[in-house]
Amino acid sequence: SGAVDASGTQPGLTGGNVTVTGRHVGLFGGHINASGDAGGGTVLVGGDYQGKNPDVQNARATYVGPDATINSDALTNGDGGKVIVWGDDWTKFYGSISARGGAGSGDGGFVEVSGKRYLDYRGFSDLRAPKGRVGALLLDPTNINIVATDTATADTEFSGGIFQESGTIDATSEITTATLVTQLTAGDVTINTNSSAGSAGDISLNTTLDYDGIAGTRTLTLIANNNIVVSNPIQDGVAGGETLNLVFNAGGAT
């Protein structure tokens, strides 16, 4: 709940590296800062990229509360950094991440927020770059539905400062169109599903995705281990110059 500062604010310095891990990992309002004058650093919370780094312990469950912030910005010149939030069973992310490109030059960074079996993403990752290309957010649970309204109850496995071991984990994650479109205003988004615990790894668009307001050109990439089911329109409801590039890959076929 405190602050971890690995920033490099002096001219020419990059941000440092921060790793926070354990069986259960929770950021309940704390601030992690790995920003740097010449580039953002690396922040690993609960694991590394897709949980595949044997040198970093994977958390079973990771919780990032609405008051928690993680910064890995390039302050002057350089690219935004790398931020990973991982949980082998579940991740609930309600906080804020910033991995922006430098004010003078540089691209946005890379952020992954993943629960290998279940992910509840209701936060925001800022990957913009004033003088460069936006960065990318990766979400990679098992099955996931893109919906109009959340049906899951937030914080069902966390209450009163204690992680609650759950006998069952939801088989299908959800992300609302409002959260997804807001995220696209600040960077490209990839949703990449895996097969885990009997789930095939499907992606389903269960409501209209109106990307009006993304303010520019963005890319939404859907990579499903199994099927992509699009049963509703993807549209710019009020034409205003927005462009959404779509890349679909279902079961290895693009």
pTM score: 0.94
* pLDDT score at 29: 86
Q: What is the pLDDT of residue 252?
A: 79
Average pLDDT, the chain: 92
What confidence score (pLDDT) does residue 74 get?
Answer: 98
Neighbours of 164 (CB within 10 A): 11
Q: Distance (Å, rounded) from C-alpha 84 to C-alpha 90?
A: 14
pLDDT at 240: 77
pLDDT at 28: 86
| pLDDT tens readout for residues 4-52 | 999 999 999 999 999 999 999 999 888 999 999 999 999 999 999 999 9
What residues contact 49, with CB distance under 8 A and at least 6 apart?
84, 112
Contact between residue 88 and residue 141 where contact means Cβ atoms under 8 Å apart:
no
* Low-confidence residues in the chain, pLDDT < 50: none
